Amino acid sequence: MAWTSRDIPDQHGHVAVVTGANSGLGLATARELARRGAHVIMASRNRDRSEEARRSIEEDAPGADLELRDLDLASLDSVRSFATAVVAEHPRIDLLINNAGVMGIPERATVDGFEMQLGVNHLGHFVLTRHLLPSLLGSPAGRVVSVTSFARYTGRAVDPEDPHLRRRYDPWRAYGRSKLANVHFAVELHRRLEAAGANVASLVAHPGLSHTELQARSVQETGGGLSQRFWHLAARNVGMAPDRGALPQLRAAADPDARGGRLYAPRWGTFGAPVGRPLLRRSLNPEAGRRLWEVSERETGERFDVAGIVAGAGRDPRE
């Protein structure tokens, strides 16, 4: 039988962090986890929309255990402030779903000077994961789910010499590269967690063609470019509703049989029930993963020493 949201186990006692939780796939993910009893930290940069999203979840799931937190992935100061506050209050985090993203937008820089799509879709989540890992290690079986898209097939690995595409920017080239980076990060994180003997798994999910606000936002940002309009119309006319598009990341996060290092995606590529799918060789390339990790540390100024964090988990910070 097809896996559905009804297969999500009881989540009472679990803490989940969902980025971009105020709309689209993030909202659908937050709703289902809350419906199953999780304490869901809804992380997004627009507090008004987060309040609206919370009310919509509470209407569907009275008594939902929700916590709103401001998070702007285009600012590393915001990411660090968010993570510091969350870790201080939640020594145990069971799920981190790196869902938020931007798509196909004109060239723009983050607060820290990163190309916006790489900065939001990957680098912000890289730093967030690094700072939340101690609390994820506080869970008996923590999980990190990175959300990619089929645009990863058009993307190339990040070039260490030009990570922000300053030589030649193209909106879709940048988007595909950021979505391939999501996969390379998830796989490399899996390798490092496994090598360190950690009780945290890293998985990757692909939502297929889903009708969310992402496509509409892309049209607004570009003034309605041909490719942006095409994907907006395709998603609107044949795309899955957000509650179905969120099923791969929900399965990666909550299915007890889901395994680290695997991809969960619609059965038929752009639609269908969520299933485990093989990752292509280019996604599993260890050199690409290692290089992305080095570039990410260099650009963000954050050393993400997985083995060191795992080894230090549970120690008295005064030691």
Q: Are 76 and 121 in contact (CB under 8 A)?
A: no
Q: Which CATH class is domain 12-303?
A: alpha beta
Residue 235 has pLDDT above 60, yes or no: no
**pLDDT at residue 213 in the model:** 58
Over residues 265-312, the pLDDT tens digits come to 998 877 889 999 888 777 889 999 999 999 999 999 999 999 999 999
142-147 and 95-98 strand pairing:
parallel
**pLDDT at residue 280 in the model:** 78
How many Å apart are CA 55 and CA 60, to the nearest integer?
A: 9
Of 158, 190, 186, 193, nearest to 308 by C-alpha is 193
pTM of the model: 0.91
Looking from the CA of 57 toward its CB, the CA atoms found within 13 Å total 34
Over residues 205-224, the pLDDT tens digits come to 999 876 555 544 544 454 55
How many Å apart are CA 234 and CA 271, to the nearest integer?
A: 12
Q: Are 51 and 68 in contact (CB under 8 A)?
A: yes
Task: Return the residue matching tokens 């990757």.
Answer: 204
Give percent of the chain with pLDDT exceeding 70: 89
Domain residue extents for the chain: 12-303
DSSP letter at 141?
Answer: T
Which amino acid, residue 123?
L
Instruction: Check if 264 is active-site.
Output: no
Of 125, 103, 117, 123, nearest to 17 by C-alpha is 125
Residue 62 has pLDDT above 80, yes or no: yes
Q: Are 251 and 258 in contact (CB under 8 A)?
A: yes
pLDDT-derived band at 102, boundaries 50, 70, 90: very high
Residue 91 has pLDDT above 50, yes or no: yes
DSSP letter at 278?
Answer: P
Residue 67 has pLDDT above 90, yes or no: yes
